[in-house]
Amino acid sequence: INKISKEINDSSNRIIYVTNIEPNIDNKNLRLIFERYGPIESTMINYNCITGKSDCNAIIVFKNYEDAY
């Protein structure tokens, strides 16, 4: 059972990919929006490496497996 709980709590099982976010949203506000679903470990907005502007998508890692689903 302990091995199963470690696999479920692996960060790859706690990640959601969000698209079509507002181009001007920052990580702080993104966290505030998604914290209603559970504690957040980290957020990462993807930016275009040439323009430096948001690609309007992000990755959110929840602290708990259940909150990502």
- Tell me the C-alpha distance between 27 and 69, whole Å: 21
Give how far Cα 21 sits from Cα of 24, 27, 57, Å. 8, 11, 6
- Label residue 5 by pLDDT band (50, 70, 90): low
Q: How far is CA 19 from the centre of its chain?
A: 11
What is the tens place of the pLDDT at every residue in 11-48?
Answer: 778 999 999 999 999 999 999 999 999 999 999 999 99
**What pTM does this model have?**
0.78
Who has greater pLDDT, 9 or 31? 31
Q: Is the pLDDT of residue 1 over 50?
A: no
pLDDT score, position 6: 54
